[in-house]
């Protein structure tokens, strides 16, 4: 299901920018690497000279894998797949990460031109979009790659598939470039975020970021069942209500959009550090989600007045 179909918006956002403007954005983003402030951690390390902060990313993008992906939401995967680029390393440190081997370890370093060639190869394979997974710490390299790929004719929408842990400055660099924002809304509570993701400021950062994304791209729009522009928010339901589903949904409805498209996700599985850690929250997370918990979470979405999306319709 693609909730809310509209007429074709035409050319992807980044192709409506001049090459000069896109180049300026890429240059400004690269300048931020000299004292890195790309994510809310603002480590301040000089990545251009070999420094590495919390995420351990350097001056080049690192790619774990890339492929047409058919497991995303249907408006993204469509019939031919979402052109997904999985970046290595992460700005968070989730204790239940199912991709810890990617998020905590390095991948294949690629130049910006090589990254652009990956974008073009995915488009040639018929993918509906370029889906950048955990791209925030590689924003400069992505913009440089996009500048090259757009010059070579890239013309499919750009998806920013993010944890939601963003800064207003980085999002400002993406304004008029990203077509589809695909953020998580992971946690509502600061202490829960501190324990489970190593970032007590995640809720504040997420609550600032989502309205900015909404302002830039609006509600999710589709043509022939495939998304072309807009915001789609993911929320992973956690055991014991640890994700804060009800206040998250009230926030989305009240401060983002009543017409926001939400994917209420039931994919949580115990793994990684929650299996061995001794924190009380880890013990809660050593089990899966019950049917009652999932139905309660779905009720939170409906009570907030949200109707567009996945995972909560009766």
Q: What is the pLDDT of residue 23?
A: 96
Number of domains in the chain: 1
- Domain of residue 35: give its range: 13-306
Q: What is the pLDDT of residue 7?
A: 38
- Looking at the domain assignment, is residue 133 inside a domain? yes
pLDDT tens digit string along 238-278? 999 999 999 999 999 999 999 999 999 999 999 999 999 99
Q: What is the pLDDT of residue 113?
A: 98
Please say whether the beta carbons of 26 and 143 come within 8 A. Answer: yes
- Looking at the domain assignment, is residue 287 inside a domain? yes
- Looking at the domain assignment, is residue 7 inside a domain? no
Q: What is the pLDDT of residue 1?
A: 41
Which residue is listed with tokens 């997974």? 133
- Looking at the domain assignment, is residue 204 inside a domain? yes
pTM for the predicted model, two decimal places: 0.95
- Looking at the domain assignment, is residue 1 inside a domain? no
Contact residues for 45 (Cβ-Cβ < 8 A; gap 6+): 35, 36, 51, 52, 53
Q: What is the pLDDT of residue 105?
A: 85
- Looking at the domain assignment, is residue 311 inside a domain? no
Q: What is the pLDDT of residue 101?
A: 86
- Looking at the domain assignment, is residue 3 inside a domain? no
pLDDT tens digit string along 132-169? 999 999 999 999 999 999 999 999 999 999 999 999 99
Q: What is the pLDDT of residue 79?
A: 96
pLDDT tens track of the chain, all 314 residues? 444 444 345 799 999 999 999 999 999 999 999 999 999 999 999 999 999 999 999 999 999 999 999 999 999 999 999 999 999 999 999 999 998 888 888 899 999 999 999 999 999 999 999 999 999 999 999 999 999 999 999 999 999 999 999 999 999 999 999 999 999 999 999 999 999 999 999 999 999 999 999 999 999 999 999 999 999 999 999 999 999 999 999 999 999 999 999 999 999 999 999 999 999 999 999 999 999 999 999 999 999 999 999 999 97
Q: What is the pLDDT of residue 204?
A: 98
- CATH of residue 115's domain is 3.20.20.70
- Looking at the domain assignment, is residue 5 inside a domain? no
């Amino acid at each position: 299901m693609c909730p809310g179909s509209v007429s074709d918006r035409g050319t992807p956002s980044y192709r409506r920018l001049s090459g000069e403007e896109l180049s300026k954005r890429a240059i400004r983003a690269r300048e931020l690497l000299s004292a890195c402030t790309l994510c809310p951690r603002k480590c301040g390390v000089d990545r251009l000279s070999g420094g590495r902060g919390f995420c351990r990313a350097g001056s080049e993008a690192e790619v774990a894998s890339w492929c047409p992906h058919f497991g995303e939401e249907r408006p993204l995967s469509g019939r031919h797949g979402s052109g997904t680029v999985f970046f290595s390393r992460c700005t968070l440190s989730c204790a239940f990460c199912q991709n810890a081997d990617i998020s905590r370890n390095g991948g294949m370093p690629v130049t910006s031109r090589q990254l652009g060639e990956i974008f073009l190869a995915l488009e040639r394979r018929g993918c509906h979009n370029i889906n950048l997974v955990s791209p925030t710490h590689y924003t400069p390299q992505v913009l440089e790659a996009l500048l090259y790929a757009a010059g070579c004719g890239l013309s499919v929408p750009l998806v920013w598939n993010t944890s939601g842990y963003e800064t207003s400055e980085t999002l400002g660099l993406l304004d008029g470039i990203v077509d589809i924002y695909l953020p998580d809304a992971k946690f509502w509570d600061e202490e829960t975020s501190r324990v489970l993701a190593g970032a007590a400021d995640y809720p504040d950062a997420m609550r600032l970021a989502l309205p900015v994304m909404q302002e830039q791209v609006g509600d999710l729009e589709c043509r022939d069942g495939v998304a072309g522009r807009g915001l789609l928010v993911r929320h992973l339901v956690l055991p014991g209500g640890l994700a804060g589903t009800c206040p998250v949904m009230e926030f989305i409805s009240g401060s983002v959009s009543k017409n926001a498209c939400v994917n209420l996700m039931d994919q949580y599985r115990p793994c990684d550090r929650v299996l061995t850690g001794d924190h009380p929250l880890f013990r809660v997370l050593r089990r899966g989600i019950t049917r009652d918990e999932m139905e309660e979470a779905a009720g939170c979405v409906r009570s907030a007045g949200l109707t567009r999306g996945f995972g909560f319709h009766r």
